[in-house]
Amino acid sequence: MSAKGFTPEVFQGQAYHVYVRFPAEWDEIRFRDDQRHHRDKALEYEALKIALTEEFQYERDGYRNAKGDFIQKINTLSRKERQ
C-alpha cells in the first residue's frame, strides 16, 4: 500500500491510497459483495460505524482497527457460504 497526504494532524492537502493485490486476496471486494447481498449485515455494519465514529472521532487508525473484527467475521462467513 502507498499513501500520501497523512500527517500527525490527519489530512493535509490531497490524500490518496493505492492498493495492489492478487485476486485471491480481495477481501474488500468480498466484503462489499456480501454487504450488497445481505441487508441485515449491512445494517449491522452501519450501526457499528456510527458508534465507532463517535468513539474515534479524531483517531482514524483506531476507527479502522475497531472495524476489523466485524469485517473479518463477515469475510470468514462469506468464504464458507461460497464453498
Strands 10-18, 2-7: pairing is antiparallel
Of 16, 43, 35, 26, nearest to 74 (Cα)? 35
**Whole-structure pTM value:** 0.67
* pLDDT in the model for residue 22: 74
Distances (CA, A) of 39 to 35, 51, 78: 6, 18, 14
Per residue in 28-64, pLDDT (tens digit) is 888 999 999 999 999 999 999 999 999 998 888 899 9
Domain ranges (residues) in the chain: 23-81
**How sure is the predictor about 1, in pLDDT bands with cuts at 50, 70 and 90?**
very low
Percentage of residues of the chain with pLDDT beyond 70: 76
